[in-house]
Amino acid sequence: MNMSHEKSHISTYTSLATVLVILLLLTTLSVGVTSYHLGAFAVAIALIIASVKVAIVITQFMHMKFESLFLKLMITGVFVIFALVIIITFSDYYFR
């Protein structure tokens, strides 16, 4: 029995299709960027585009935009902790 007292938001087919189009465009962009010789920037741009895509999938497909504040804080917090772990590990590797 669905005991949830909140009205769940239902995504429309059109909105979902629009999201896919945006994701495919971003994919094209990230592939296209590799044909330019940008060296270290290529990494940064690829990761930024990937992060944007991830954010879109989480907020739209996974419905995070319509979920509770706690859930939003939780997922943000987890990414922050993971980023900190990588940064601190690099405090070793970068400065050896």
Partner 1 sequence: MTEPGHEAYVSYLKHEGKHKGILGWLLTTDHKRIGLLYFYAIIVFFFIAAILGMLMRIELIAPGQTIMGPQTYNGLFTIHGIIMIFVIVIPALPAVFGNFFLPILIGAKDVAFPRLNLFSFYLYIIGAVLGVLSQFMGSGPPDTGWTFYVPYSAQSSTNVIYALVAAFILGFSSILTGLNFIVTIHRMRAPGMGWFRMPLFPWSIYATAWIQVLATPIVGITLLMVIAERLLHIGFFDPALGGDPVLFQHLFWIYSHPAVYIMILPAMGIVTEIFPTFSQKPVFGYGAIAMSSIAIAFIGSFVWGHHMFTSGTSYASRWIFSFLTFIVAVPSAIKVFNWISTMYGGSVDLKPPLLYAISFIFLFMIGGFTGLTLGSLATNIQVHATSFVVAHFHYIIFGGMGFATFAGIHYWFPKMFGRMYNLKIANIAWGLNFFGFNILYFPQFIIGIQGMPRRYFDYLPQFQTAEVISTIGGFILFAGLILMLYNFIRAARKGEIAPANPWKGVTLEWQIPSPPPHENFDTIPEITTQPYLFGTSNKE
Partner 2 sequence: MTEHHTDTGQFDQETGKLGMWIFLLTELFLFGGLFLVYAVFRAKYSLDFHNAAQELNTFIGTLNTVFLLTSSMTVAMALTAIQKNSPRLALFLVFITILFAALFMVNKYFEWTHKFSLHIYPGSPVLKNLQKGELLFFGLYYMMTGLHALHVFIGMILLSINLVKIRKNVVNSGHYLLLENSALYWHLVDLIWIFLFPLLYLIT
Q: Which residues bind partner 1 (CB under 8 A)?
A: 70, 78, 81, 84-85, 88-89, 91-96
88 binds, among partner 1, partner 2, none (CB under 5 to 8 A by kind): partner 1
Shortest distance (Å) from residue 19 CB to partner 1: 28
**Chain Cα centroid distance, residue 58:** 6
Shortest distance (Å) from residue 93 CB to partner 1: 8
- Residue 68, phi then psi, degrees to nearest 5: -70, 160
Residue 91 binds partner 2, judged by CB under 8 A: no
Using an 8 Å Cβ cutoff, are 56 and 19 in contact? yes
- Residue 48, phi then psi, degrees to nearest 5: -65, -45
